[in-house]
Amino acid sequence: MTNKFAVVLIFILSISCFALAEQKLTLFDFDSTFDISKVQTSDSKVSLAVKGLRVKTGHKVQWPGITLKAPKGKWDAAGFQYLSADISNFSDRSTTVNCRVDNPGANGRENCITEHILLEAKQTQTLVVRIQNKWVLDEPLELIGMRGYPAGANKIDPSNITQLLFFVGKPDTDHDFAVDNITLKGKTEPLLAKSFLPFIDEFGQFMHSSWPGKVNSIADMKKEAAKEAKLLAQAKPNADLNKYGGWKTGPKLKATGFFRVEKLNNKWWLVDPEGRLFWSHGIDCVHSSAYTPISDRENYYKALPQKDSKLAQFYGRGSWAPHGYYNTHTPYKTYDFFKANLVKKYGDDWQDIFADLAHKRLSHWGLNTIANWSDANIYKMQRTPYTATIHFSAKIIEGSQGYWGKFYDVFDDSFRENMRKKMQQQIDNTANDPWCIGYFVHNEIAWGDDVSLAVATLKSPADQPAKKVFVNDLKAKYKTIKAINTAWNTDHASWKHLLESTAEPDREKAKKDLNEFYKKIADKYFTTIRQELKAIAPNQLYMGCRFSRVNDTAARSAARHCDIVCYNRYHYSVADLALPDKIDKPIIIGEFHFGALDRGMFHTGLKATKDQNDRALKYKEYVRGALKNQYIVGTHWFQYKDQATTGRGDGENYQIGFLNICDTPYPEITAVAQEIGSTMYEYRSN
């Protein structure tokens, strides 16, 4: 090596090291010189420990924990994407630790960002709080219809972070955790607002950056297709599995010809039609649709196809927009880049090829279930077990409310009638298909707290069927209007007046009656659905309504009437998930995901990770935690492919797929899924 070359090499390496160093800034590492007297505490005690700053919290206040103020008044995090902190749980039980990043004026809702992490007993994990996108514009630019933006649409000003809070929420017992290595990471990339539009290329990708796997031509897509086809052709099937993906070399149980549940060695399992143990390692939304609204923002796209071209078939119109910009701008024009990319990649037979590939891919990735929201033309090929989805509408409780809509009036005849009609459509379809594991009915409906639906009933009009039932129940219990007025501290002149009133009662004074009627609504909901489902499909499992937020009363009712209780659980771990009172009933995870911003997308989804490697690691930890859980019989990832870069109707534009917008698999997460799928039966058994 010449001296001149050595000098150049040293210079290059020094620049590289400097660039890497600039990508992170340590705020606290809690070495022996740290002054703990500067830590503000709330019902907590702090000390220095091997794993950082140890925090022991009580349960006298709602949010016990600590506040760490910026030593010089503020931190400037404008050049960083996220804050990370190593959190250790010293407790013998799971602990959820929250981190809040504050601007001046933060109050828990405004001028702050909060993220949390669920830790198992004695576990250490890294908590990530995303502060801003990877790409930052030099000046404001209004962009619409997306949850995540490359613009300055941040919840906080990253250049003026004044303090960090670490705390537990509303605890009923003491907690013991440590915080360490609080660091700003992830270098941002500046972009010029004046030259930003358009920012989406002909493939639906972000134009102004590059990353591993980005498609630059149709030739790239065809090359990827050939590469994957060769890989799948050479893949050998797992000899330990039967055709359903059940454990062929494991214990043999009673075969019924259909899926069922059974508890074995203190763990719940699915049992496949051949009597083999089955754990549902699945994925949602196995379909080809990924449209994005284009109305009012055609200038975002570099090359939308001409209206008379072959790819113009993927223009459409949409009206679904429960939230976001398009909620008040319907109907809207759409374009589906994903389907257009399938034509470019596979030709005119793209639908058949895509369907065939779905089964081959899932098998190769170690997945054995096509889960919710998937294409019936794909799952009815009877090559991969699947879950079916039932959704029906009915008269609503007018006084109710919820993120996705109001709750159904289960006492109105339309509720049973419409469920019956939906199930009749499953005759000679999914009903009694041995490949059909069972049915989810509805999704993330608004259960509220354990009196909310009863209160909503009383706030509804007099002709509300549920209200008539409730008032009749109260009549039967109290006999006279005077008696209920005394119990509830009300002044209704008559039972008719109570029926016509839409006033909300005192929740504390009426709590027992409200909770009893809430329980009656929940039981009516689940029993009606179960009866109509089993009348048509007695051999399929009823797997509940896919709880998102749920109270114990509703969860107990589901446990009484469902074969499996489903939770859509967006956390970092479900290792300790259980029904209220640890009711001994199988649970399935209907949705979970993690996302990152290192591959051209603008939103991580509901649980953020640092990059694709971290996303894969979080996937592995989540599913392995579920495999350890005695109640959980499966996890279903949401979803098969990324959402559109510029968002769906409600603006969601999450990087949450096993495939990107160009139908290219993410190698990091698919490799980890394959590893889990090849070892999960032994792992759960042992």
Query: Which tens digit of pLDDT belongs to each residue from 655-671?
Result: 999 999 999 999 999 99
Average pLDDT estimate for 610-639: 97
pLDDT in tens, 446-461: 999 999 999 999 999 9
pLDDT at 402: 86
Q: At 102, is the pLDDT very low, low, confident or very high (cuts 50, 70, 90)? A: very high
Q: At 541, is the pLDDT very low, low, confident or very high (cuts 50, 70, 90)? A: very high
Average pLDDT estimate for 382-405: 95
* The pLDDT of residue 4 is above 80: no
pLDDT in tens, 118-155: 888 899 999 999 998 889 998 889 999 999 988 654 68
pLDDT in tens, 294-343: 999 999 999 999 999 999 999 999 999 999 999 999 999 999 999 999 99
Q: Encoding tokens for residue 638? A: 């949401």
pLDDT in tens, 252-271: 999 999 999 999 999 999 99
Q: Which long-range contacts (CB under 8 A, 24 or more apart) does 210-218 make?
A: 211/598, 211/599, 211/600, 212/599, 213/599, 213/660, 213/664, 213/666, 214/599, 214/600, 215/341, 215/662, 215/664, 218/344, 218/345
Average pLDDT estimate for 185-195: 93
CB 369 within 8 A of CB 387: yes
* The pLDDT of residue 20 is above 50: no
* The pLDDT of residue 15 is above 50: no
* The pLDDT of residue 390 is above 70: yes
Task: Name the percent of the chain lying above pLDDT 90.
Answer: 91
Q: Encoding tokens for residue 93? A: 């039980």
Longest dimension (CA), the chain: 103
CB 618 within 8 A of CB 594: yes
* The pLDDT of residue 18 is above 50: no
Cα 13 from chain centroid (whole Å): 41
User: What residue ranges define each of the domains in the chain, with the CATH number in brackets?
Assistant: 25-195 (2.60.120.430), 218-234+279-372+549-679 (3.20.20.80), 235-277 (no CATH), 448-540 (no CATH)
CB atoms within 10 A of CB 194: 10
- Please enumerate in sequence order all residues whose Cβ is within 8 A of that of 159, keeping only pairs 6 or more positions apart, or say none: 74, 76, 77, 78
| 22-26, 71-75, 594-598: least confident range | 22-26
* The pLDDT of residue 41 is above 90: yes
Cα 216 from chain centroid (whole Å): 31
Mean of pLDDT over the chain: 94
pLDDT at 154: 67
d(CA 306, CA 674): 41
* The pLDDT of residue 495 is above 90: yes
Q: At 368, is the pLDDT very low, low, confident or very high (cuts 50, 70, 90)? A: very high
d(CA 628, CA 609): 23
pLDDT at 471: 98
pLDDT at 358: 98
What sign does the CA torsion over 511, 513, 514, 520 have?
positive
pLDDT at 463: 98
For residue 207, give the 3-state DSSP assignment: coil
Average pLDDT estimate for 94-115: 95
- Please enumerate in sequence order all residues whose Cβ is within 8 A of that of 412, keeping only pairs 6 or more positions apart, or say none: 394, 395, 465, 466
* The pLDDT of residue 3 is above 60: no
Q: Encoding tokens for residue 401? A: 């409310």
* The pLDDT of residue 479 is above 90: yes
